[in-house]
Structure formats: C-alpha cells, structure tokens
C-alpha cells in the first residue's frame, strides 16, 4: 500500500485526478469505480478541468458508482444519481449509457444487487476504484460489522453515518436508512484502489485503517491487503498516523 501526504484537499484531488487520468490515457475504455461524498469533489473538479482543457477524453470510459440510497427519487437533490450528474457527469463526455449506478428504487433490491455485480463482471471488472472513507471507517456503505460482505448488498446505515450525512438533508428524519452498496469483494477485485481522505474528522478512521489490525469494524482496513492500493491524504486526515 502506498500513502501520499499533501497539504490541502485540492492537492489530494489533483493527485487523484492525475492517477485516474493516467489510467484513462493508458486504457481509454477503462472501467472506473466512482464514489460520492465531499471527499472526491476536488478530484472531479480537476477531472472536469482536464477534460475542458482537451487533455482527458471519457468517450470510451465506463463507470460504476459504489452506492445509492434506497427509496429516494433519482432527482432528489441528495440522491447519488443527482450528485454524480452535478459534480461530474454533466461536465464531461462520458456516454450516459456507460455511467452505471445501482437502482435503490428497484422493486426487488436483492435482484438489483445481483444484476449490478453481473454488470461489473460483464464489463471486465473495475480497473480503478476511487473511494472516500466514512468517519467510522466505512467504504462505499460497508458499515462497521463483524464480517466483510463480498457482493453488492442492501445495507442498514448506522446512526453515525445517518448523523454524518444529515448535513445534506433538511432533517435527520429525511436521511434514508438503507442503501445499496458494492461489497468489499467487488472493491477488492478492482485492479487498483485509490482512497482519498481529507479533514480532521477522518483522522481516526484513517489511523485505524492503516495502523490497527485488519478488522471489519474498520472496513477500510482490508485495503491494506490489496496489491495496488494508494491512500491520498491531506495533513489533517493524516494527523494521527
Ligand atoms: C458516504 C458514502 C461514502 C463516502 C462517505 C464519506 O457515506 N457512501 O462512499 O466515502 O460518505 O463522505 P464524505 O466524503 O462526504 O465525508
């Protein structure tokens, strides 16, 4: 595992965009695993800038997002569908049919999870997976647990995640209680994993992920066993290492 430290969240975003851009230049039809949350926003800004500057072309790329809330409309301002359009998809030349996201409104969510895993496998697997990290060490929506779940699955969000994500919603009662998330197996099967973490409120999760035993109570700790994992951290997120 590689760890790179930067002074600011913007630098973390630039470094992540360089690695994603290099992946795309090497293989224009790359399968990219994408994340939501505030952490990847500087990365997406830099990717958009590089696209507008004529440096990066997404026309052959394929993307799969990590997760989506259950039972909120795709057009809801807090849905991850909306987030991805606003923060990335509407500003690059990715073909809409190549941008995949789990459907948290599917009537049969287990069937939807199986379909999503199959779609990733059919695309040839994920070349590069971008990840944030939750304050409780979650990746995607793989919450602290006594096990690592392999495949895409429906997750019941923990109270700490509901509280952390409450800031995007009108009230805590509006935060969905469930989400569909890629499993740890699908994340670990990515050929490369890139985790971005910024800000002091991530310092404890980053410390546990990097310095303590590999433990499903800190789901990100499993990334230490990945053959090509890169952590890009700002000073605040790295403060307890
Ligand atoms: C959500 C997402 C995660 C993300 C995490 C951290 O729970 N499901 O993929 O990593 O939030 O979000 P933020 O980057 O806003 O702190």
How many domains, in total, are found in the chain? 1
- Nearest C-alpha neighbor of 27 from the set 65, 63, 64, 61: 61
Is residue 239 in a domain? no
Q: What is the pLDDT of residue 154?
A: 98
From 79, 80, 83, 133, the mutation candidate for ligand 1 (largest count of ligand atoms within 8 A of CB) is 133
> 39 CB less than 6 Å from ligand 1?
yes
Q: Whose CA is nearest to atom 10 of ligand 1?
A: 132
Q: Is 13 in the pocket of ligand 1 (CB under 6 A)?
A: no
Rounded to the nearest 10 degrees, how much is the dihedral formed by the CA atoms of 15, 17, 22, 27? 150
Length of the chain: 241
Instruction: Provide the annotated active-site residues.
Output: 67, 136, 138, 143
CA angle 156, 153, 142 (to 5 degrees): 60
Q: pLDDT value at position 164? A: 87
In a domain, 240, yes or no: no
**Other Cβ atoms closer than 10 A to 107:** 7
Range of the domain at 16: 2-234
CA-based radius of gyration for the chain:
16
Residue 219 contacts residue 138 (beta carbons within 8 Å): yes
Separation of CA 29 and ligand 1 centre (Å): 26
- Residue 194: beta bridge partners? 130, 230
Q: Is residue 213 part of a domain?
A: yes
- For ligand 1, the distance from its centroid to the CA atom of residue 60, given in whole angstroms, is 27
Task: Per residue of the chain (241 residues), give pLDDT as tens.
Answer: 999 999 999 999 999 999 999 999 999 999 999 999 999 999 999 999 999 999 999 999 999 999 999 999 999 999 999 999 999 999 999 999 999 999 999 999 999 999 999 999 999 999 999 999 999 999 999 999 999 999 999 999 999 889 988 988 999 999 999 999 999 999 999 999 999 999 999 999 999 999 999 999 999 999 999 999 999 999 999 999 9
- What pLDDT does residue 226 have? 98
In this structure, is residue 215 part of a structural domain?
yes
In a domain, 241, yes or no: no
Which helix (H) or strand (E) element contains residue 13?
helix 9-26
In terms of DSSP bridges, do strands 99-100 and 2-6 run parallel, antiparallel, or are they unpaired?
A: unpaired
Shortest-distance atom of ligand 1 to CA 201: 16
Determine, yes or no, domain membership for 74: yes
Name the β-bridge partners of 233: 5, 197
* Whether residue 206 has its Cβ less than 6 Å from ligand 1: no
Using CA atoms, how far residue 96 sits from 17, 62, 93, in Å, is: 21, 9, 9
Asked if 9 and 235 count as a contact pair (C-beta separation under 8 A), the reply is: no
Ligand 1 center from residue 38 Cα (angstroms) = 7
Nearest CA-CA partner of 13 in 232, 166, 175: 232
CATH number of the structural domain spanning residue 138: 3.40.50.1360
54 CA distance to ligand 1 middle (Å): 30
- Dist. CA 57 → ligand 1 center (Å): 26
For residue 11, being part of any structural domain is answered with yes
Would 216 be classed as within a structural domain? Answer: yes
Q: Which atom of ligand 1 is nearest to the CA of 179?
A: 8
User: What is the model's pTM?
Assistant: 0.97
How much is the pLDDT for 193? 98
Nearest ligand 1 atom to the CA of 157 is 7
């Amino acid at each position: 595992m590689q760890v790179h430290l930067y002074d600011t969240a913007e630098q973390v975003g630039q470094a992540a965009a360089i690695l994603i851009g290099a992946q795309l230049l090497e293989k224009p039809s790359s399968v990219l695993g994408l994340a939501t949350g505030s952490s990847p926003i500087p990365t997406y800004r830099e990717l958009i800038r590089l696209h507008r500057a004529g440096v990066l072309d997404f026309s052959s790329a394929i993307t799969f997002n990590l997760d989506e809330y259950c039972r909120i409309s795709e057009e809801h301002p807090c849905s991850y569908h909306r987030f991805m359009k606003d923060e990335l998809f509407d500003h690059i030349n990715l073909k809409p049919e190549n941008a995949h996201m789990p459907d948290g409104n599917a009537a049969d969510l287990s069937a939807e999870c199986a379909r999503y895993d199959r779609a990733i496998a059919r695309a040839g697997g994920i070349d590069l997976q971008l990840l944030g990290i939750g304050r409780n060490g979650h990746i995607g929506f793989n919450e602290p647990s006594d096990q690592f779940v392999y495949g895409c699955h429906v997750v019941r969000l923990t109270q700490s995640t509901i509280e952390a994500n409450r800031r995007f919603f009108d009230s805590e009662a509006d935060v969905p209680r469930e989400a569909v998330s890629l499993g740890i197996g699908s994340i670990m099967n990515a050929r490369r994993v890139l985790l971005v973490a910024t800000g002091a409120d991530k310092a404890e999760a980053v410390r546990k992920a990097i310095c303590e035993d590999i433990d499903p109570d800190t789901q990100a700790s499993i990334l230490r066993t990945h053959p090509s994992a890169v952590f890009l951290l700002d000073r605040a997120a790295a403060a307890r290492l």
